[in-house]
Structure 1
């Protein structure tokens, strides 16, 4: 009597590595929301149960692919802990601290450089920031207005923070590159506040492409 599938490919292949490779391709092609564990398992040639065995959830598998320098599950509660008023300030300060950390800084800037050089890395970085960072922040807010503008708000926050990282740490524009962290937080936080909860629709609805 033939034995049923075990969910593992025959031989000595690195099953975990096969899953990670399939997941990277799936996430970069379909995005986080458009990818399922079943699709990844099929591409890797294993059972979905084996994917769950190695990684637990789709979110944990995604983080294993992206390998971010910080865990969003630990980061976001710190940003939200002291109430909504200070969220924009804490977002900017936490972002700068991540960029300037002795371990997290080189790792994040490596991700950023990779994202600007390689399309698939850029797509993974975009989805990581969108689904694991900004979405978690906005999901906790009741003052964001029309939820259909969430993708726009997310994009605007990303443009501000990633642009800040490029100009301050990669291109090293002065005097921004040498500015004290407190000064940068004070300058950037109001813009983040507007992008999170302010009126960002008037110019678009009037047909003016400027923001």
Structure 2
């Protein structure tokens, strides 16, 4: 089998192949032999450079969101901005998200998934909030956004997939906004759950 010329090019070829195959097939579906074949390398070189498949997965699967758009808008429209940002994620982000979810039965990958959820969704929201319940409000809002990604990318909800983007931004944005800036106790619509101890920002 033809080998790339240097250790650096071999490593990069393996990383590139692994990124594509993990996104396409998930952690369990992409084998070391398949990754090596796609990289034009011997399987032993995958182990030499990355120790094992799990470490290779963790090195190649990173999900990030530019949080600047969440910092330059009034808090009162933060819900819609977050959903618009989430819906604008590209196919690469979808592949990483799916790979992390599908591989989450592995403890280290589960930790990466939890860390990604914390850093990508919760921390940027919490940075915009104040009050003793800022953390729980950020986590509730993040769970709504993550739930939308799950519905679109994992469950493949046909109704949501077929919905107009502006409709999703409006409705999901309102759900998140209600958590981020909840109405005063007693002023909320009947039947709307409250967040205990919530306060205006």
So what's the TM-score if we normalise by structure 2? 0.54
| Aligned with 2:63 (options 46, 54, 69) | 69
Structure 1 residue 181: Cα displacement: 1.7
| Structure 1 unmatched runs, 5+ | 1-63, 207-211
Q: Deviations over 1:101-155 (max 9, x none)?
A: 132221223223333x4444233222332244422332233xx432xx2332233
Is the 8 Å Cα contact of residues 70 and 78 (structure 2) preserved in structure 1?
A: yes
Match of 2:40 in 1: none
* Residue 187 of structure 2 is aligned to residue 187 of structure 1: no
Give, in whole Å, the separation in 2 of the partners of 1:162 and 1:156: 10
* Residue 143 of structure 2 is aligned to residue 159 of structure 1: yes
Give, in whole Å, the separation in 2 of the partners of 1:76 and 1:140: 11
Cα RMSD between the aligned structures? 3.0
| Aligned with 1:86 (options 53, 77, 81) | 77
- Of structures 1 and 2, the one with the larger relative CO (CA 8 A, separation 6+) is 2
* Residue 136 of structure 2 is aligned to residue 136 of structure 1: no
Give, in whole Å, the separation in 2 of the partners of 1:150 and 1:177: 31
So what's the TM-score if we normalise by structure 1? 0.52
Cα 1:179–1:119 shift into 2, 3 Å: farther
Structure 1 residue 197: Cα displacement: 2.6
Q: Number of aligned pairs?
A: 133
